[in-house]
Amino acid sequence: MSQTILAVEPKRTHEESNAYAIAVRQLEAAAHYLNLDRSMLEVLKHPRRELIVNFPVKMDDGSVRVFTGFRVHHNPARGPAKGGIRYHPEVTLDETRALAMWMTWKCAVVNIPYSGAKGGVVCDPKRLSVHELENLTRRYVTEISIMIGPESDIPAPDVGTNPQVMAWIMDTYSMHKGYTVPAVVTGKPVAIGGSEGRLEATGRGVCVVAHEAAKQLGFTLEGAHVAIQGFGNVGSATAKLMHQAGAKVVAISDVRGGIYNPNGLDIPNLLHCAGRDGCIHAYRDAEPITNEQLLELDCDILVPAALHGVITARNAPNIRARIIVEAANGPITPDADEILDEMGVLVVPDILANAGGVIVSYFEWVQDLQAFFWEEEEVNAKLEKAMRKSFAHVVQTAEQNKVSLRMGAYIIGVKRVAEATTIRGIYP
């Protein structure tokens, strides 16, 4: 008699499933290298403020659903709060805390005058109509309006949100004020004060640091084999720009799984298929693979561009990439980090690798405040300059301290935030 055996996913540890636990452990490691006193570490561990909102939304069928949302500010020492808004069924307060903390370090590493924030709503945007999504967004923004503003907290897109959502945020905030306030949000359409180059900014930054990392190991993007987990805004932009740089993108995945062709995928055709059908699996010239298999492919550069905690102590020994560029936030757990470091895998950390988005968000904010806008070529040039400068500083710091690039980035970011916190002092 035949028997069907179901595969059971290994139980995730608390750290693997809890992004905030990862973020705190990374901070503690950096604090050790910096010899931070205990008091400063305690200040930096905790978000400055957190808001939880439960709000009703009228659905298309006339029913009313209550959604839960969050907005978290981490440490305000270096400037207004900055961070995306995530719409996802698995958004949690701890995840939002972690993302806000990572944003603080990210802004400090690339030396822009922001502190970290993050927001999110527990929902599946794919199951909402456009009208329901607009209603949800406008009500959520109204609920968190006590925290946001062009001088206090400037949201941006993240997983599950896009320029249209940012447009609704700007309009809602502006309606409350009685006048148009473009600088309250970034990542919005160009027609209402968005910046040229913002849509591809995170992916462009990923490609810049991937190029710089490849040079560290003696090769270029031309002909390099690249695997990308995730095909949202960041993953698709990265694939497009990697392809334009001459790389062979051999694998792509989304939430349903991945596709693989060792000879390289036709990225323009794949983008067309995804845009037409909303799914990469309409592309035929490739074999199906799982997201887990994609991470373990033999390639030059691996780009995790999905969610946190996908590379753990369990699968890290199976990684065969020479370079990992963290386009997502927190895709590698600390235990996996140690394994990869011992294996000689060069990891470009998230707080550097995906900073292109917040850099151009800063450019957008500046342009909105002065009502003077730059051409796309200028935006891209400024972005690439900032990413190269920050990468070089991280490499220099890592070499001086004989640590990984992640620790080099954390030494820079945490030191800058701690210094600003110390100089400002404690009120009262």
Interval 58-102: pLDDT, tens: 999 999 999 999 999 999 999 999 999 999 999 999 999 999 999
Supply the pLDDT for residue 276.
65
With 80 as the cut, is the pLDDT of residue 12 above it? Answer: no
Q: Using a CB cutoff of 8 Å and minimum separation of 24, what contacts does 52-56 make?
A: 52/93, 53/140, 53/143, 53/144, 55/139, 55/140, 55/143, 56/139
Residue 180: burial class (beta carbons within 10 Å; 0-12, 13-18, 19+): middle
Q: How confident is the model at residue 6 (pLDDT cuts 50, 70, 90)?
A: very low
Mean per-residue pLDDT over the chain, rounded: 94
Which architecture does CATH list for 47-181? 3-Layer(aba) Sandwich (3.40)
Residue type, 218: G
Supply the pLDDT for residue 16.
55
- Contact predicate 44/417, CB 8 Å: yes
What are phi and psi for residue 228, nearest 5 degrees? -125, 120
Q: Please tell me the distance from the alpha carbon of residue 409 to that of residue 105, in angstroms, as a whole number.
A: 8
How far is CA 283 from each of CA 266, 278, 297, rounded to the nearest angstrom? 9, 11, 20
Any idea what DSSP says for residue 327?
A: -
Nearest 5 degrees, angle CA 146-CA 119-CA 58?
Answer: 75
Read off the pLDDT of each residue in 202-220 and give the average, rounded to a whole number.
Answer: 97
Supply the pLDDT for residue 1.
35
Percent of the chain with pLDDT over 90: 90
Bridge partners of residue 58, in order along the sequence: 64
The pair of three-digit structure tokens given for residue 329, joined into one six-digit string: 């936030």
What are phi and psi for residue 82, nearest 5 degrees? -140, 130
How far is CA 167 from each of CA 53, 149, 184, 307, rounded to the nearest angstrom? 21, 14, 10, 25
| Annotation says 118 is catalytic | yes
Q: Please tell me the distance from the alpha carbon of residue 174 to that of residue 189, in angstroms, as a whole number.
A: 16
Read off the pLDDT of each residue in 236-248 and give the average, rounded to a whole number.
Answer: 97
Percent of the chain with pLDDT over 70: 95
Q: Please tell me the distance from the alpha carbon of residue 168 to that of residue 182, in angstroms, as a whole number.
A: 11
Candidate list 118, 188, 240, 248, residue with the active-site label: 118
Residue type, 360: V
Read off the pLDDT of each residue in 335-345 and give the average, rounded to a whole number.
Answer: 96
- Contact predicate 194/188, CB 8 Å: yes
Q: Domains of the chain: which residue ranges?
A: 47-181, 201-353
Supply the pLDDT for residue 255.
86
How far is CA 273 from each of CA 30, 234, 248, 310, rounded to the nearest angstrom? 44, 17, 18, 26
Q: Please tell me the distance from the alpha carbon of residue 364 to that of residue 163, in angstroms, as a whole number.
A: 13
Topology of the domain comprising 201-353: Rossmann fold (3.40.50)
Q: Please tell me the distance from the alpha carbon of residue 188 to that of residue 168, in angstroms, as a whole number.
A: 9
Q: How confident is the model at residue 283 (pLDDT cuts 50, 70, 90)?
A: confident
Read off the pLDDT of each residue in 298-324 and give the average, rounded to a whole number.
Answer: 96
**47-181 and 201-353 share one fold:** yes
Supply the pLDDT for residue 5.
30
Run of H or E including 44:
helix 38-45
Supply the pLDDT for residue 277.
63
Q: What is the pTM of this model?
A: 0.93
Chain position carrying tokens 């695997």: 227
Quick one: which of 282, 264, 265 has its CA closest to 273?
282
